[in-house]
Amino acid sequence: MDLKRLFKPQTMAVIGVSLSNESNPANVIYNKNHLRYQVKAYPVNEKGGLVRGETVYPKISDIPAKIDLAIIATKADIVSSVMAECIESGVGGAVVISGGFSEAGFTNLQNRIVSMAKEANFPFIGPNCLGIFAPSHMDTFFIPGERMVIPNQGRVAMVSQSGGILVDHMAKCALEGVGVSLAVSIGNKALINEIDMLRYFREDAGTDVITFYLEGFDENEGRTFVLAASACGKPVIVLKSGKTPAGSSAVKSHTASIAGDYEVFSSAMSQYGIVEATDEYEIVTFAESLCCYKKTIKGSIGIITGSGGHGALATDTCLSHGLFVPTFSEAEQAELRNSVSPSIRNIASFSNPVDLTGSSTDDDFVAAALTLSRNNNIECIIMLLLPYIPGITMDLGARLNLVYQQEGKPIIAYVPHVDKYNMLIEGFTLNNMPVAHSVEDAVHMAEAMKRYRPC
């Protein structure tokens, strides 16, 4: 199936718009896209009429334009007839927002629309979903615009069986400055599933990293997904629910998926180099890291800090996550000592973590980063930057980027998440370098590279 018109439509018809209820989900979707997004949106209601002064078309075939995408937000029992009209009118695909299908026990209704779509080669997302969010282009989520936290355009694709989880992930991306290429809530995934999304994003030039929130698979789909993800050529990050018996029951009541044996699935992901996130915070942190550095490391970390306490905390966290922080030899320590300013040579510690102390300056951090970038025993550098150290300026992020550009060794920064430090943070993010807002998240970013093993 060709999914281009589904995910990159120029025109959209929203079917099920109410003539009297502005809070109706279809109205929310129509109003957002009509007023705020690039896609051209048309409202559809069998009664016709007007909505906010705009013509409401009784049928999709009445619209005087070729429609790429139909948003179906009607009662479940008439979705099949609406889909038939879409197919007959040459629509490119659909998002079925409506619930009341297999997740509610009405498998026959779901089977009917799947059979119809397969026969007509008609792609659709859902049912029982929020659909598609494409930054600046379209938004099929029935969430009022003022309540959405919207990430910037970027290179991370997000796919989720749960619409609510997807909205949470998007909010975290916005907070962490992680840009999104496309976010897709697939709901019951009656036709288009995770494997189809993998194939689409594998070829999508605008996507570098693909994340999934998974609840379960149909029989034998889990193996197919793992093999497809391992052959994708792009980092794939998975957050899986249904890890416990109670979680499996919750999954079944949500989207009628089969949760399967989590331990087997988790082991298979690890074996094939798919990055598993253990919670909702890791999935965003891992995405930011792998979007910047598509590299695999064994786990040897060099830590540079201006605070001994931060260095000790980072060391403990690295060790607890399967990374290691090797102690530098006397020769390595001497090289570091000679690289920094004379004023801190006798008070700094160079054993790893490298504690430059609160008397350090930008020049010291840059010199230490350059030295460790040339150390073959270190695969990744974690910089713990405390902007309240007097000698640090807001230019340090940009200067460290020059070190990375010159040497090519991954550098991960920790900077406290405070508005007044945004200029320092932007020195990293504008140059495609990851910034964590906690020491633990910085370690997670390094851990992502250890878990990622491209085939």
pLDDT tier at 455, thresholds 50, 70, 90: low
Is 297 a residue whose pLDDT tops 60? Answer: yes
Per-chain mean pLDDT for the chain: 93
Q: Is 295-442 assigned to CATH 3.40.50.720?
A: no
Q: Could you read off the pLDDT of 221-275 as tens digits, one per residue?
A: 899 999 999 999 999 999 999 775 544 444 444 444 445 688 999 999 999 999 9
**Which residues, in sequence order, are CB contacts of 72 under 8 Å at separation 6+?**
15, 16, 79, 82, 83, 86, 94, 95, 96, 97, 98
Type of residue numbered 414: Y
Mean pLDDT on 361-367: 98
* Residue 379 CA: distances (Å) to CA of 272, 284, 304: 22, 22, 14
Is 113 a residue whose pLDDT tops 60? Answer: yes
Domains in the chain: boundaries: 1-127, 149-292, 295-442
- Residue 421: its pLDDT value, please? 86
- Does 1-127 match 149-292 in CATH topology? yes
Q: Domain 1-127 is in which class?
A: alpha beta
Q: Could you read off the pLDDT of 373-393 as tens digits, one per residue?
A: 999 999 999 999 999 899 999
- Residue 244: its pLDDT value, please? 52
pLDDT tier at 41, thresholds 50, 70, 90: very high
- Residue 137: its pLDDT value, please? 96
pLDDT tier at 396, thresholds 50, 70, 90: very high
Tell the CATH topology of 149-292. Answer: Rossmann fold (3.40.50)
Half-sphere exposure of residue 330: CA atoms within 13 angstroms, side-chain side? 0
- Residue 418: its pLDDT value, please? 80
* CA 163/CA 254 separation, integer angstroms: 11
Q: Could you read off the pLDDT of 134-162 as tens digits, one per residue?
A: 999 999 999 998 999 999 999 999 999 99
Transcribe 55-107 into DSSP letters.
EEBSSGGGSSS--SEEEE-S-GGGHHHHHHHHHHTT--EEEE----SGGGT-H
Judged by DSSP in three states, 353 sits in: coil
- Residue 262: its pLDDT value, please? 87
